[in-house]
Amino acid sequence: MIPFDFEYYKPTTTEEAIELFNNLISLGKKPIYYGGGTEFISMARMFNRYADAVIDIKGIPECNIFEFKNGSLIIGSAVTLTNIAENNYFPLLSLAVKRIADHTIQDKITLGGNLLGTIIYKEAILPLLLSNSRVVIQGNVCKKTVQIMDLFDKKLQLSEDEILVQVIIDKRFLSLPYSHVKRTKNEKIDYPLITMSALNDNGKVLVAFSGLCEYPVRSLEIETILNDTSISRDEKIKKSIENIPGKILNDISGSSEYRKFILYDMLSELFDKFEEVG
């Protein structure tokens, strides 16, 4: 049970949601936008999250779109992980979200909730970073569409009053050869030691990681190393590990040295797989 009272709103447009947010702020209240609600509910029960009001965006049609349009796949931020997995329009994304929590919870977690949550792993973002996706953001002033890589710096850099409306993925990325590997300490459904998502874009390896650092990682420098034809596979992997752009996690799941060991094997297996598909 949540140990505090809060107001609940379910607007039907992004403009209405923004207006509600601003009105609540002007009254001295602390509102938050609410998608699937799994993180808010669990953290509020543990006294780790508080809000005077929640603004549920699941009633906004734009946030529930899941369709192809103008050569792109559009996924609303309120679309659930289960819906993404079952439709399987983007196989790499489907695989990534299938390994986030169990099936019952996947029915509640939304794409936006995973991308914007406080949990560090955010595994659904990996395929979106690799496919150079665009995101649609609604703010006070206007609605804008930006490249996800331009908005991502350890996390998506949205202000509290902005709504993540949709993700747009170029159709050509959906059918590229792919790999998704998740290594966990114990169970299949668990936080990752390392999750790796990869695409083979006409022979070029694109790769991103979760669980390696305190935030998801896609490094263009690492991709340059992995695609350098002048050095051996072993050198590529070693140099890539040396150039991880951040401190490698050292926690209860595994030490940083163990993560490096796991990563070496994962990258070696990735080369084997992509060599098979040519």
Tens-place pLDDT, residues 160-182? 899 999 999 999 999 999 999 99
Q: Which of 148, 154, 157 is nearest to 215 (CA)?
A: 154
What is the model's pLDDT at position 51? 83
Distance CA 219, CA 96 (A): 19
Lookup: tokens for 158: 């949205």
Distance CA 261, CA 263 (A): 5
pLDDT (tens digit, 9 = 90+) per residue, 108-138? Answer: 899 999 999 888 999 999 999 999 999 999 9
Are residues 190 and 160 located together in one domain of the fold?
Answer: no
Q: Give the pLDDT band of residue 198 (cuts 50, 70, 90).
A: very high
Is residue 121, in this structure, part of any structural domain at all? Answer: yes
Q: Which residues contact 261 (CB under 8 A, 6 or more apart)?
A: none
CATH number at residue 129: 3.30.465.10
Are residues 273 and 199 located together in one domain of the fold?
Answer: yes
Question: What are the Cα distances from residue 206, in Å, to 1, 27, 38, 135, 270?
Answer: 43, 47, 31, 20, 11
What is the model's pLDDT at position 185? 79
pLDDT (tens digit, 9 = 90+) per residue, 202-211? Answer: 999 999 999 9
What is the model's pLDDT at position 55? 94
What is the model's pLDDT at position 199? 98
Mean pLDDT, range 239-255, rounded to an integer: 95
Is residue 212, in this structure, part of any structural domain at all? Answer: yes
Are residues 118 and 135 located together in one domain of the fold?
Answer: yes
Distance CA 240, CA 194 (A): 15
What is the model's pLDDT at position 189? 59
Q: Where a domain ends, among 120, 142, 173?
A: 173
Distance CA 159, CA 138 (A): 10
Higher pLDDT, 258 or 188: 258
Q: Give the pLDDT band of residue 44 (cuts 50, 70, 90).
A: low
**Residue 247 near residue 220, CB atoms below 8 Å:** no
Q: Give the pLDDT band of residue 244 (cuts 50, 70, 90).
A: very high
**Residue 36 near residue 57, CB atoms below 8 Å:** no
Q: Where a domain ends, among 108, 143, 173?
A: 173
Does the pLDDT of residue 4 top 80, yes or no? no
Query: Which domain, by its residues, includes 198?
Result: 176-277
Q: Give the pLDDT band of residue 105 (cuts 50, 70, 90).
A: confident
Is residue 141, in this structure, part of any structural domain at all? Answer: yes
Are residues 19 and 114 located together in one domain of the fold?
Answer: no
Does the pLDDT of residue 146 top 90, yes or no? yes
pLDDT (tens digit, 9 = 90+) per residue, 72-90? Answer: 999 999 999 999 999 999 9
Is residue 1, in this structure, part of any structural domain at all? Answer: no
DSSP 71: T
Q: Give the pLDDT band of residue 186 (cuts 50, 70, 90).
A: confident
Are residues 47 and 23 located together in one domain of the fold?
Answer: yes
Looking at the structure of the chain, the number of domains it has is: 3
Are residues 152 and 251 located together in one domain of the fold?
Answer: no
Question: Residue length, the chain?
Answer: 278
pTM (predicted TM-score) = 0.92
Lookup: tokens for 31: 């509102």
Does the pLDDT of residue 41 top 70, yes or no? no
Does the pLDDT of residue 262 top 90, yes or no? yes
Q: Where a domain ends, among 121, 139, 173?
A: 173
Are residues 137 and 72 located together in one domain of the fold?
Answer: yes
CATH number at residue 206: 3.30.390.50
Are residues 27 and 113 located together in one domain of the fold?
Answer: no
Is residue 52, in this structure, part of any structural domain at all? Answer: yes
Are residues 142 and 206 located together in one domain of the fold?
Answer: no
Is residue 2, in this structure, part of any structural domain at all? Answer: no
Are residues 32 and 69 located together in one domain of the fold?
Answer: no
Share of the chain above pLDDT 90, in %: 78
Is residue 42, in this structure, part of any structural domain at all? Answer: yes
Lookup: tokens for 14: 């992004």
Are residues 224 and 165 located together in one domain of the fold?
Answer: no
Are residues 162 and 106 located together in one domain of the fold?
Answer: yes
Mean pLDDT, range 212-225, rounded to an integer: 97
**Hey, CA dihedral for 100, 68, 198, 112, is it positive or negative?**
negative
What is the model's pLDDT at position 278? 54
Is residue 37, in this structure, part of any structural domain at all? Answer: yes
CATH number at residue 49: 3.30.43.10
Distance CA 45, CA 255 (A): 30
Q: Give the pLDDT band of residue 188 (cuts 50, 70, 90).
A: low
What is the model's pLDDT at position 37? 64
What is the model's pLDDT at position 6? 82
What is the model's pLDDT at position 106? 75
